Amino acid sequence: MGMGIDHATFRAAMARFPGAVTIITARQGSERRGITATAVCSVSAEPPSLLACVNRKTGTCAAIRETGIFNVNLLPDPASPLAMRFAGAEGVTGDDKFSEGHWVEDARGLPLLEEALIGFSCNVSEAVEAGSHTVFIGEIMRLRFNDGAPLVYGQSRFHRLEPL
């Protein structure tokens, strides 16, 4: 068994771990739900799938659990204010978060960010409880692409991805 790591040490370590910035969206009844997340990655090419880690305290997690569907929107470089809004920095909650950005609905009625570099529409194939989060494995049903550079988060701030 390894040493116990306290919350602050874990957060400091993860702050150095860069990740692409996404907004995970869902719908619960008539209300749209969404959160900012960097804990999203590919799982498999057969079938095409990704995983998304969502805090169980959020309405987004409840909506995904209830409906079994969600979208992942990969944010473009200039979208850091939108990322902060969906992270709760402005104190805005629920459907009110969607008053910023250009949101459209996919064929299932879920929010997709029009300017997202990639919009993944997913069906939950598996859900695993892990600490404070649920890890949703989503089979990718549809993709929507745009050109541009992704927004990256690391060392507790946003960055541009530039070629070497």
Residue 32: domain span: 19-152
Asked if the structure places residue 10 within a domain, the reply is: no
Residue 67 counted as domain residue = yes
The pTM for the full model equals: 0.93
Is residue 148 a part of any domain in this protein? yes
Q: Is residue 37 part of a domain?
A: yes
Could you tell me which of 129, 132, 122, 134 has the C-alpha nearest to residue 68? 122
Using CB atoms within 10 Å of the CB of residue 97, give its burial: 0 to 12 exposed, 13 to 18 middle, 19+ buried. Answer: buried
The CATH number given to whatever domain includes residue 115 is 2.30.110.10
Collapse the DSSP code of 67 into the 3-class scheme (helix H, G, I; strand E, B; otherwise coil) and give the result: helix
Q: Is residue 163 part of a domain?
A: no
7 phi-psi bin (left φ>0, alpha ψ -120 to 50, beta other): alpha
Summarised one tens digit per residue, pLDDT across range 53-91 is: 999 999 999 999 999 999 999 999 989 999 999 999 989
Q: How many independent structural domains does the chain possess?
A: 1
> pLDDT tens-digit profile of 100-146?
999 999 999 999 999 999 999 999 999 999 999 999 999 999 999 99
In a domain? residue 134: yes
Q: Please indicate, yes or no, if residue 3 is contained in any of the structural domains.
A: no
